[in-house]
Amino acid sequence: MAKKVKPLTNTEVKQAKPKVKIYKLSDGDGLQLRIMPNGSKQWLLD
């Protein structure tokens, strides 16, 4: 059975800070937010 992930809130997206490496925050159902080291944010759909 698939694990349920709570959707990202607007506040969580705005407060996501860049790190040394790229990291991802999952929004569920294959939607992810990728935060780049330069501070840009990209939505990905698997």
User: Where are the domains positioned within the chain?
Assistant: 10-45
How do residues 4-21 score in pLDDT, each as one tens digit?
778 999 999 999 999 999
Rounded CA gap, 36 and 43, in Å?
11
The pLDDT value recorded for residue 26 is: 92
The pLDDT value recorded for residue 1 is: 58
Which of the pair, 1 or 14, is modelled with greater confidence? Answer: 14
Closest CA to 31 of 18, 15, 11, 13: 13
Backbone angles phi, psi at 41, to 5 degrees: -125, 135
Provide the pLDDT confidence category of residue 2 given band limits of 50, 70 and 90.
Answer: low
Residue 2: how many other CB atoms lie within 10 Å? 6
How do residues 20-43 score in pLDDT, each as one tens digit?
999 999 998 889 999 999 999 999
